[in-house]
Amino acid sequence: MANPMREVNGVNLHFRDIGCGPPVVLLHGHGQSNRVFRHLERRLAHDCRVILIDSRGHGLSERGDKPLSIPLMARDVAAVMDRLEIERAAIAGFSDGANIALQMAVDFPARTDCVVAISGNARPEGLKPSYLRLLRARKRLDRKS
């Protein structure tokens, strides 16, 4: 079942719900969309209910007027799960998606069956200098808006 953009947690988010079985939420990294999982989603949908979310300000989702943060995006994931009437799910994420998945486990442990965190980071120091400059510039722009 495909879902259009819907109001979730005060912003219009795009998410998709495909397959049947135990729910698995897939969370993309910074600057990506849920389409990064296009090959994986087909395989998982044979045995699982796969929820693919475009995070705030990514893909087809609106950014909203709140400053972007990992805790805010974890609340968005929980709100999408509420909208889809999913009590608990496995949460898997890459990069910022991994950080959101870990935040879900901290903030919503009863909603999180397990976490797969791929290339998450606690601090940005390990990023390439060019990407770090881009993130700092974006953060400055976010503060001005």
| pLDDT tens digits for range 56-93 | 999 999 999 999 999 999 999 999 999 999 999 999 99
d(CA 56, CA 135): 16
Could you give the maximum distance between any two Cα atoms of the chain, in Å?
A: 45
pLDDT tens, residue order, the chain (145 aa)? 455 789 999 999 999 999 999 999 999 998 899 999 999 999 999 999 999 999 999 999 999 999 999 999 999 999 999 999 999 999 999 999 999 999 999 999 999 999 999 998 866 666 677 767 776 776 676 666 5
Percent of the chain with pLDDT over 70: 86
Q: Which residues contact 96 (CB under 8 A, 6 or more apart)?
A: 27, 28, 29, 30, 55, 70, 73, 120
